[in-house]
Amino acid sequence: MDQNDIASNPTIFGKILRGEIPADIVHEDIHCLAFRDINPQAPQHILVIPKRLIPKLSDASEEQRTLLGHLLYVASEIARKEGFAEEGFRVVINNGENAGQEVPHLHLHVLAGRAFSWPPG
Ligand code: AMP
């Protein structure tokens, strides 16, 4: 599924999905891919992305509600498998310019291994 989407994805994450550039992959299924962030902001920093191109969270359609839930579930599954579910972790989605989104392909940041302040910067 989603092969046409993957083929035409112009973002850096499209290159990762096509295997054109390397990534340290921690999870893959038919709907999503998770890999370690190249510029980690915490001892553990993993990105979870849908294989289907959704530029940002607010672009997701109603029919993609299940996919959005799946991405969150995978984030929690990774937290358990990587061993930081109990100590705590943060999931962040930057949506658009004011949030500092740089890559226009929806991604969940899963951050762990240190304490995080609130409110975020
Ligand atoms: P955002 O600012 O929310 O769009 O986050 C984009 C994230 O993608 C940043 O944390 C980058 O460090 C990360 N990133 C960019 N290029 C790569 C790459 N080739 N492999 C892994 N992570 C990347």
**What residue has token string 């658009």?**
96
Identify residue 7 by its one-letter amino acid code: A
What total of structural domains would you count in the chain? Answer: 1
CATH code: domain of residue 76:
3.30.428.10
The pLDDT of residue 121: 87
Range of the domain at 85: 3-112
Question: Measured from the CB, is residue 24 less than 6 Å from ligand 1?
Answer: no
Question: Measured from the CB, is residue 94 less than 6 Å from ligand 1?
Answer: yes
Identify whether 117 is part of a domain: no
What is the biggest distance separating any 2 CA atoms in the chain, rounded to whole angstroms?
40
Each residue's pLDDT, cut to its tens digit, for the chain (121 residues) gives 457 689 999 999 999 999 999 999 999 999 999 999 999 999 999 999 999 999 999 999 999 999 999 999 999 999 999 999 999 999 999 999 999 999 999 999 999 999 999 999 8
Residues 6+ apart with CB under 8 A from 28: 34
User: Which tokens sit at 1?
Assistant: 């599924």
